[in-house]
Structure 1
């Protein structure tokens, strides 16, 4: 059996070091991802000569520390994601990328160290995707938490899913308790029946509702708020979620009472009320745009049958001829199911292991039902409830078809595209 041939063509990037950490072998994929030729690194010290990291002292190099730990333990050691700069072959500088790696000591029968095998993976795009998703979430939360209104959201059935920091700061009730229903304790007992009735009517009718209520602050005092519920709908008109806002109108209400008592300045009052309503509506619309205009495509599948609960514009653009919300993936996109992705989703749902794909070809049906090749980079990530039970899957990623085709054209023209 030709072990060298197998090693050289293994799809994982691997490099073999001797006990002095000098390179004795590297397979094709390793040379590709590190932009090197074998004769340029063979026999060189792995970290001091072949792949020095300019910003980290050798003694503190995390790769060196991981290798030493593997040698000391006599077993494979995994290195968490690190940022590590690789010098460009043309001497024009460094490429800083994100890497995952493992180091495995290879011993003889007497337990003496013969080699150290490093298996590594360039995970830069995955980490950038994660960071982009985190940035989107942070922006949404920052915006919601920075608003003076008390903002909350509910699913289509009316179950609470989110309360902004203003709720906790104003009422003194922890967010976990608010989600569990303790928000009702903050409503004035005289106003709770009317608030509950308006909310139920809005749910049943699927229409916006509003009511004026008094909400208790953490010192025990009450202020008047305008509580409004607005449904967010998908293209089919089905309700995706509800957005609730409570705007402090205490001072305005006192002003109203004073104006009514004096029977003066009624027109000014009407203008102020209209301005308050427009402000609340503008802020709600801004929140919706932030969620739906994310730069990456993403969707949420709920349940073990993978039913679409939420898709943003970028994701819907991949399937412009199909209505997704409320349907299972198998029902809405049979061509995707035929390519084996149901099994992949089932595995993520059952094991909780994130699935990642980079520039993978996916056949998507066009408006005439004809399958076309698309190149996508994406992750399937499990979603958990408060009991740490998997309830669905988040799909997020990028359409890299244009980038991939451009790389192919450049390669056909003999242009090096390693860094594209």
Structure 2
């Protein structure tokens, strides 16, 4: 096999050009990649008479500039990732096909150290760049969703080291992103709560299980508020934990209310055995209701279009209506009882204006068993507009039921109002 046969069979995208940018030779792989023949390209001006980019002038073409640098410096010049679309044949429909490339330009010198020609070696990195762009879009969606919810959301490495926090963390603590990374987020925990939190964390990490507990977290004004912290391990198909996802919910007001109720019951417990029994019953009821409040699941759904069609409904949201199918139906079709209660108008306003709607302890009468009997319920909710290409395309619904919390507060008020 002579040198030419050897060269054209090299399995690389290689083209050789003269200092005047005339194409001198190319490998078969290069011709296959660019969908050209040797007759199409040999002797023609590179990127001007062939492979031209209609959107970039020859003189300003970054590939030409890289070749010129290689000629001027007589050293290899590497070109960063570049989008360079290839013209498709008429048999393939014509037009251009999007491609991304990495390239190097190697000058070959003669015995007088003058550049005889330049070897361009290119690598098609289209799949890698498209995957990178898709990953960036996915990360952007994840950040948008975590920033949209009213909770403090974070992710951790398997060892518990923080590697991401949502905007709520930054707004609540007043700290920067970097100040919460690694184990620094633990600096926001109240010193009295930190030992027990660390012990529970380490046990859960070692056992590769989820954990949940209460702790006080410092706000940007230096005040500590009670929060419910929950961390769940995310596993690969092999079962190996690859990361942990954490959520933090503010329960300060409920915690204080429960503590006040406990203190009131403790004072009454000293009056008599009868009051002691009443206290114990009240305490049992408090613990039961506190458990319901603390374990209240988050509700999540997405509504698409001006008709508010359910496109995603999580388990806890669906569990509100066990005898109904929500997904694929409009809000009016799925939940007719909320139409007259004004919730469709609220959704319409968010969709039309792009202004989020946030409400605490909002009441709604629900036909939970789909039997025509309405039951009052209360929720903390947020309707967050969902944008696509700069326009509102749907609404994210996030919240959690606080019916037990509202009922408990009313009971406490009645209890305190007794003579």
Q: Do these two structures clear the TM 0.5 threshold for a shared fold by scoring above it?
A: yes
> What's the counterpart of residue 99 of structure 1?
101
Shift of 1:189: 3.2
State the number of aligned residues.
283
Query: Is residue 329 of structure 2 the alignment partner of residue 277 of structure 1?
Result: no
Report the CA distance shift for 1:258/1:55 in structure 2 as closer, same or farther (over 3 A): farther
2-structure distance, mates of 1:189, 1:118: 62
Query: Is residue 43 of structure 2 the alignment partner of residue 65 of structure 1?
Result: no
> What's the counterpart of residue 178 of structure 1?
180
Shift of 1:203: 4.9
Shift of 1:204: 6.3
2-structure distance, mates of 1:71, 1:40: 25
Shift of 1:249: 1.8
Deviates more, 1:143-152 or 1:124-133: 143-152
> What's the counterpart of residue 26 of structure 1?
26
Map Cα deviations across residues 331-377 of structure 1 (whole Å, 9 max, x no partner): xxxxxxxxxxxxxxxxxxxxxxxxxxxxxxxxxxxxxxxxxxxxxxx
**Which structure 1 residue ranges, 5 or more long, are not aligned?**
290-420
Map Cα deviations across residues 92-113 of structure 1 (whole Å, 9 max, x no partner): 2112211111112222212233
Q: Verify the 8 A CA contact 1:247 1:280 in the aligned structure 2.
A: no
Query: Is residue 119 of structure 2 the alignment partner of residue 117 of structure 1?
Result: yes
User: What SS does structure 1 have at the residue aligned with 2:168?
Assistant: helix
- Cα RMSD, aligned residues only: 3.7
Map Cα deviations across residues 191-216 of structure 1 (whole Å, 9 max, x no partner): 33443454455456665443332211
Q: Verify the 8 A CA contact 1:163 1:175 in the aligned structure 2.
A: yes
Report the CA distance shift for 1:210/1:85 in structure 2 as closer, same or farther (over 3 A): closer
User: What SS does structure 1 have at the residue aligned with 2:69?
Assistant: helix
Shift of 1:276: 7.1
Query: Is residue 273 of structure 2 the alignment partner of residue 248 of structure 1?
Result: no
Report the CA distance shift for 1:219/1:22 in structure 2 as closer, same or farther (over 3 A): same
2-structure distance, mates of 1:161, 1:175: 9
User: What SS does structure 2 have at the residue aligned with 1:50?
Assistant: coil
Report the CA distance shift for 1:31/1:279 in structure 2 as closer, same or farther (over 3 A): same
| 1:260-409 aligned within 5 A | 270=289, 274=293, 277-279=296-298
User: What SS does structure 2 have at the residue aligned with 1:148?
Assistant: coil
> What's the counterpart of residue 226 of structure 1?
228
Shift of 1:27: 1.5
Report the CA distance shift for 1:282/1:238 in structure 2 as closer, same or farther (over 3 A): farther
User: What SS does structure 2 have at the residue aligned with 1:152?
Assistant: strand
> What's the counterpart of residue 366 of structure 1?
none
Q: 1:128 aligns with which of 122, 127, 130?
A: 130
2-structure distance, mates of 1:110, 1:241: 60
Report the CA distance shift for 1:113/1:160 in structure 2 as closer, same or farther (over 3 A): closer
TM-score, L = length of structure 1: 0.57
Q: Verify the 8 A CA contact 2:161 2:183 in the aligned structure 1.
A: no
2-structure distance, mates of 1:13, 1:207: 50
Shift of 1:233: 5.2
Query: Is residue 65 of structure 2 the alignment partner of residue 46 of structure 1?
Result: no
2-structure distance, mates of 1:44, 1:131: 35
Report the CA distance shift for 1:64/1:206 in structure 2 as closer, same or farther (over 3 A): closer
Report the CA distance shift for 1:123/1:154 in structure 2 as closer, same or farther (over 3 A): closer
User: What SS does structure 2 have at the residue aligned with 1:25?
Assistant: strand
Report the CA distance shift for 1:256/1:53 in structure 2 as closer, same or farther (over 3 A): same
Q: Verify the 8 A CA contact 2:15 2:30 in the aligned structure 1.
A: yes
User: What SS does structure 2 have at the residue aligned with 1:48?
Assistant: coil
2-structure distance, mates of 1:282, 1:186: 31
2-structure distance, mates of 1:158, 1:166: 20
Map Cα deviations across residues 70-110 of structure 1 (whole Å, 9 max, x no partner): 11011221111100122223282112211111112222212
2-structure distance, mates of 1:145, 1:116: 51
2-structure distance, mates of 1:233, 1:107: 56
> What's the counterpart of residue 371 of structure 2?
none
Q: Verify the 8 A CA contact 2:19 2:71 in the aligned structure 1.
A: no
User: What SS does structure 2 have at the residue aligned with 1:245?
Assistant: strand
User: What SS does structure 1 have at the residue aligned with 2:79?
Assistant: strand
Query: Is residue 175 of structure 2 the alignment partner of residue 166 of structure 1?
Result: no
> What's the counterpart of residue 75 of structure 2?
75
Shift of 1:155: 4.6
Query: Which of structures 1 and 2 has the bigger CA Rg?
Result: 2
